[in-house]
Structure 1
């Protein structure tokens, strides 16, 4: 038996609990991974509240990204072996002592990438990578990223800067200096956002807006005349504004490999805001749902 986080009804963090579940042997093409770190994401609490576009029926497991060690492999597994350190983003169930899934969900973790960082990298990192790739951008252009110090935003800003793109990021005053340190231009969110973005753009047209926070950024972008097809959100219903909704695509091992390489090379930083043990999962979510984080919250066994 192993521990796994579950919820039997929709609600706040109090509905989460640790259950004892059977340890599953891997089938053909599958690997079993002992979790060493698992990242929390806003989509996790939206699923738990019943407000996400990803519909589940309780009772249900929780969690969608993790890092760990392969401790068993099924027939036909070719790429991974027992003892390999891996990380990945999965459909659900990452908040558990062990998960058993197809090897296609996992990439190898480089030795230079700490487990806690790898545990919070896969879902947030690929979401940022896929969102950035959804817009036809080139070096020298200017983009806006909201929640620019959050899990996805902090990675998206850095990926854009690496491509020579000028990034204006909305953030709290507490995260402004960090955002500057990774090459972003911080602007404070709140009333008057459109005006502050206009000033930060310094006459450069805004080529794309990546909304990771909510309507405020979208409305500011539309006020500034950004074409709807160049506004992307994964935080709000895009149909209400006639814009795009592009998030993470299917798990891509090559993308995960490249993200891990950038971290190992020191070219991409994944800030870890806090680490909680698995049995304090409620406290971890309460902190996540307060907002104003820099980077990721991670669970460890």
Structure 2
């Protein structure tokens, strides 16, 4: 089979499309014929060697955590899924024609493989940071960098829970944020005053890592009300940096519930082939994404 692999840490040029042996599903796992794989910032951070504490790997290593596809092998002890089922979830080395998943769920009717592959990690992250920041129905949440995959999920979950969201993004994504129920404003010079004019802020999420933790603390009035997924320096200001993943199974169950109720849709901004994985990483690292990026197999 074909898979994307890297033998040394570095830039996107270390990614290679190679021939590899097919993996097999061990106890408690399933194997899928991958139809699409999600591209996440953690993928290129792993490739660069940034997050070895949370994601220890041995080189050479495959790439990718999220995927959607068709079950073709079921491990010992697995129930509730059969060969031929359409599923999406989390595993390892998912930038490949075949991959093993450790957490999964059946795909809701009407959901494409391309869309499904974009949900697992962003939904787990979105649900986790909303829980960690402690925002409650009726309160106002500020989301910095709101138009990407995690931001798109946060905005829609918050809307479903009765939470008001002020979202910052580039000028081109203002209407997109409004379509997801947010009060939108641009980042850049003067953004703090623009947010203040929109109303009081109870809690804040930093999804972009643009060096604004101090300002978010000022806007909320307390570092305990600020959580970042993109700025490891957040604790220097008393804020929380969220890096440890929670329950993927629970996140997938809530994902299916929201999609089935018509309360969640994260668009796929761009699709790539396996051979274009390096380009996908370059685009992901550049940011300014509206929704998700995925590889199509």
State the TM-score bracket (shorter-chain normalisation).
over 0.9
Over residues 77-110 of structure 1, what are the superposed CA-to-partner deviations in whole Å (9 max), with x where a residue is unaligned?
Answer: 21211111111123x31111111244xx111111
Over residues 96-141 of structure 1, what are the superposed CA-to-partner deviations in whole Å (9 max), with x where a residue is unaligned?
Answer: 1111244xx1111112212111100000011101111223322221
Instruction: Say if 1:113 and 1:260, in contact at 8 Å, map to a contact too.
Output: no
Matches within 5 A, 1:163-178: 163-178=161-176
CA gap of 1:212–1:199, structure 2 versus 1, over 3 A, is same
Deviation of 1:264 after TM superposition, in Å, equals 3.4
Quick one: which of 196, 205, 208 aligns to 1:198? Answer: 196
CA gap of 1:247–1:159, structure 2 versus 1, over 3 A, is farther
Instruction: Say if 2:126 and 2:153, in contact at 8 Å, map to a contact too.
Output: yes
Alignment RMSD (CA, Å): 1.7
Quick one: which of 251, 254, 279 aligns to 2:275? Answer: 279
Instruction: Say if 1:170 and 1:189, in contact at 8 Å, map to a contact too.
Output: yes
Determine the structure 1 residue equivalent to 2:95: 95
> Unpaired segments of 5 or more residues in structure 1?
none
Deviation of 1:247 after TM superposition, in Å, equals 4.5
TM-score (normalizing by structure 1): 0.92
Instruction: Say if 1:70 and 1:84, in contact at 8 Å, map to a contact too.
Output: yes
Mapped partners of 2:47, 2:230: distance in 1: 16
Mapped partners of 1:219, 1:41: distance in 2: 26
TM-score (normalizing by structure 2): 0.93
Mapped partners of 1:291, 1:135: distance in 2: 23
Mapped partners of 2:236, 2:259: distance in 1: 36
Matches within 5 A, 1:29-178: 29-52=28-51, 54=54, 55-90=56-91, 92-102=92-102, 105-178=103-176
Deviation of 1:279 after TM superposition, in Å, equals 1.5
Query: SS state of the match for residue 212, structure 2?
Result: helix
Instruction: Say if 2:38 and 2:294, in contact at 8 Å, map to a contact too.
Output: yes
Mapped partners of 1:145, 1:44: distance in 2: 23
Determine the structure 2 residue equivalent to 1:184: 182
Instruction: Say if 1:18 and 1:279, in contact at 8 Å, map to a contact too.
Output: yes
Query: SS state of the match for residue 133, structure 2?
Result: coil
Point out 4+ residue stretches in structure 1 off by more than 4 angstroms: none
Query: SS state of the match for residue 110, structure 1?
Result: coil
Over residues 27-49 of structure 1, what are the superposed CA-to-partner deviations in whole Å (9 max), with x where a residue is unaligned?
Answer: 33221111111111111111111
Mapped partners of 1:161, 1:37: distance in 2: 28
How many aligned positions are there? 294
Over residues 203-260 of structure 1, what are the superposed CA-to-partner deviations in whole Å (9 max), with x where a residue is unaligned?
Answer: x3x2211111114331211232531111001101132222112246334323212212
Query: SS state of the match for residue 19, structure 2?
Result: strand
Quick one: which of 238, 242, 248 aligns to 2:238? Answer: 242
> Unpaired segments of 5 or more residues in structure 2?
none
